Amino acid sequence: MPPARNFGFNVAMIRTSILAAAALAVATPSPPAKPMFRDPVWDGAADASTVYDPARREWRMFYTNRRATLTGDDEKDVAWVHGTAIGVAVSKDGTHWRYGGTAAIPTACTGETLWAPEIGYYRGQWHMWLTVVPGIFHDWQGPRFIVHLTSRDLRNWTCGERLALGSDRVIDASVAEIAPGRYRLWYDEERSGKTIRSADSTDLVHWTPGPRVVDTPGEGPKAFRWRGQWWLVSDAWKGLLVMRSDDATRWTRQDGYLLAEPGTARTDRAKGQHPDIVVVGDRAFIIYFVHQSGEPEAATDPRWGRRTVLQIAELDYTNGRLAVDRARPVSLPNRKPIG
């Protein structure tokens, strides 16, 4: 048996090593995992809108909660994309997300099917523009409109008005303040061949429809200002179309598409769809959804491809162009966005 003093010395060293390893584990958080978020109820998270709640010092993400695991015999029946609530995910650190239930949205001004929330803070309160389908349809022919709601706390929402945009099939709002007191709405008008259009307002209530923004059909537009320019990213169903502008009116199209090629990481092996953009200081992050048709489970389950998860990547800016490396692990910074 070794002397007691050597035994005590070894124990002290072991204790020191354990404490050092524990401290290192605390100081070095695990890298962000894919997916960014997966809905635990229906496994169909899509169409995110992400904001920082300064009152609670946390990120809140609102998303379309597709019923991807709904069963049925008819493969053409799209009831699973209807009857959808708006899900909520919450994160304190921008990396780890937990399911926060569904948003408390009044039924008095909405309906059974809620899609594509757009959240923004203007004029001292939170605003939501929400796509509503009044019912559960088994095909894609139902009417669709956009409603406006407001909130003081991102939890309790008050009905506003239904937007008058001259069509009974409008979806996917994106709103930005393009100048002090001047607001612009971008949306998908489906009657004219799913075109991205715009409308202007000075009070966030009354909107004047404007021209078609781009000839390419698409949906899910997201407008934002970054690097001294305006950007508009939309889902062209073969990747994400990118346009840039000095004034949010005259647009120049970037050739090619972002996130057109599937990623290699598990749950990210399909094209990216319906973008959300979060600007934090001089950095910009894109949150997109990915169908799970590229996963091994899809080989034995024909409905597995309906499932969607939310992923995040950072936008890169080089010589006036946007690019994305979807393989590089990133997460939202653990702080309030600047500006």
Q: Tell me the pLDDT of the chain averaged across its residues.
A: 91
- Could you tell me whether strands 321-324 and 125-133 are parallel, antiparallel, or unpaired per DSSP bridges? unpaired
Nearest to 46 by CA among 324, 307, 315: 307
DSSP state of 324: E
**Residue for token digits 């320019």?**
229
Q: What local confidence, expressed as pLDDT, does residue 9 receive?
A: 37
For residue 253, name the pLDDT band (cuts at 50, 70, 90).
very high
157-169 confidence digits (pLDDT tens): 999 999 999 999 9
Is the pLDDT at 339 greater than 70? The verdict is no
Q: Is 262 helix (H, G, I), strand (E, B) or coil?
A: coil
**CA–CA gap between residue 76 and residue 85 (Å, rounded):** 21
**CA–CA gap between residue 127 and residue 117 (Å, rounded):** 10
**CA–CA gap between residue 167 and residue 292 (Å, rounded):** 33
Contact present, 84 and 66 (Cβ < 8 Å): yes
- Could you tell me whether strands 58-65 and 321-324 are parallel, antiparallel, or unpaired per DSSP bridges? unpaired
Burial of 155 (0-12, 13-18, 19+ CB in 10 A): middle
**CA–CA gap between residue 214 and residue 198 (Å, rounded):** 10
pTM reported for the whole predicted model: 0.90
Tokens standing for residue 239: 């990747």
Strands in the chain per DSSP E: 45-53, 58-65, 86-91, 98-102, 113-122, 125-133, 145-151, 158-162, 170-179, 182-189, 195-201, 208-212, 219-226, 229-235, 240-245, 252-253, 273-280, 283-291, 308-318, 321-324
Q: How far apart are the first and last CA of the chain?
A: 67
278-307 confidence digits (pLDDT tens): 999 999 999 999 999 999 999 999 999 999
37-83 confidence digits (pLDDT tens): 999 999 999 999 999 999 999 999 999 999 999 988 788 999 999 99
Is the pLDDT at 10 greater than 70? The verdict is no
H or E element in which residue 292 lies: none
82-141 confidence digits (pLDDT tens): 999 999 999 999 999 999 999 999 999 999 999 999 999 999 999 999 999 999 999 999
**CA–CA gap between residue 102 and residue 60 (Å, rounded):** 12
Contact present, 323 and 315 (Cβ < 8 Å): yes
* C-alpha 128: how far from chain center: 14
Nearest to 50 by CA among 280, 294, 323: 280
